[in-house]
Amino acid sequence: MATGIKDKVAILGMGCAKFGERWNDNAEDLMVEAFIEALEDSGIEKNDIQAAWFSTAIEEQHVGKSGVPLAMALRLPFIPVTRVENYCASGSEAFRGAVYAVASGACDIALALGVEKLKDTGYGGLPQRTRGAVNDMFWANTSAPGNFAQLAAAYGAKHGKSRDDMKKAMAHISIKSHDNGSKNPKAHLRNKIDEDKVMNAPMIAEPLGLFDCCGVSDGAACAIVTTPEIAKSLGKKDLVTVKALQLAVSNGTESQHNSWDGSHFITTRTAAKRAYEEAGIEKPRDQVSLIEVHDCFSVTELVTMEDLHISPEGGAINDVMNGFYDADGQIPCQIDGGLKCFGHPIGASGLRMIYEMYLQMQGRAAERQRSEQPVFGLTHNLGGFPHQNVCSVCIVGMDGA
């Protein structure tokens, strides 16, 4: 009978390149930057790594389709390298592969690395005409801002929230992310903003204005994982272990009939429930210390607070406006700036979220460090659109918690 992966895997080391418009660097440079930090942090030698998972979402633009670019860039010792892609949740998919390999006993030490190098291609996150069943049938004539604007409209209609209610809550979310990002030297955007600037910004897709939307970035993030026993034998203390890792994928329910009202993410609610069960968390609002969610748009963060069963149904706006998710609130959300400001190199974002949890739990987040050491950290990584998506929920925490 399956027992899950709780505490079977420890994070040995992590690294993250600076996110942004890295005009003078290629994807390989970013991969090396993240890997060197992770390797030095782990205290092991490169030849100790026995398998690797490599994530990138739009590979045609930079690295190509196979795992070879990772092996060549890092000069890995002829080990297995598996390239994975799952929309914007690709980084979490790479982490899942490495974690499952260690948890199963297939290898002792595994690597997960995600990268995206898009800025100098002109890619801006708007529609690309690509072939395939999903794109031809459902995404042929759509955009991300347009789809998430519909999420905002559906949520507001369901819960009786006015446009002004929604705009003010979304503005607070964006202002919070910019404040947090200003303290992060690796963030793409480090500029603070105020409510007047957000409310009067150009409209992208009603009610989403310019500051409600994240862009894309160049960047890479990396994790090296092993068993807690091996980590301790290497002298590691204050271990951060994986408590749960769950993935839920849309099966067509949302887009093919009207049982879904468009106001939430079925996948997030499903993955979150499974993750809490695997981690042994019964009251997430009281037990979770930090969260990083997939804030591709400010409304996504708002809705996700309820989908993660932290805010009550229809209550996320009150929690947001009361500062519950601020850096000094009860459960800080996007304490590193999130996708909105740390940045969104698609294949790396899921690993970047875990990187922040890891730093916070080890007391190494510098200016943005939480005063109380977090016990449980949750990351939520979403790929696709509200009506068709893949969602990963990962929970990490202190060993023994």
Close Cβ partners of 343 (under 8 Å, ≥ 6 residues apart): 19, 20, 187, 188, 189, 214, 215, 216, 217, 219, 337, 352
Burial of 400 (0-12, 13-18, 19+ CB in 10 A): exposed
Give the sheet arrangement for strand 81-84, strand by strand: 81-84, 51-55, 110-116, 219-226, 10-16, 240-249, 388-398, 376-385, 290-292
Continuous H helices in 138-227: 144-159, 163-181, 195-199
To the query of whether residue 296 is one of the catalytic residues in this protein, the response is no
To the query of whether residue 341 is one of the catalytic residues in this protein, the response is no
Torsion of CA 276, 277, 283, 287, to 10 degrees: -50
Which letter, b or e, does each residue of 36-68 get, where b requires 16 or more Cβ atoms within 10 Å of its Cβ?
ebbbebbebeeebbbbbbbbbbbbebbbeeebe
User: Among the options 264, 294, 309, 344, which is catalytic?
Assistant: 344
User: Among the options 16, 62, 88, 333, which is catalytic?
Assistant: 88
> Which residue, chain included where needed, has tokens 């040995």?
12
Dihedral-angle region of residue 7 (phi above 0 means left; psi in -120 to 50 means alpha; beta otherwise): left
C-alpha span between 314 and 306 (Å, rounded): 8
SS3 332: coil
SS3 263: coil
C-alpha span between 2 and 213 (Å, rounded): 40
Sign for the CA dihedral angle at 53, 56, 57, 59 comes to negative
Tokens representing 155 are 């949520």
C-alpha span between 109 and 10 (Å, rounded): 10
Phi, psi of 390 (to 5 degrees): -125, 135
Residues catalogued as catalytic: 88, 344
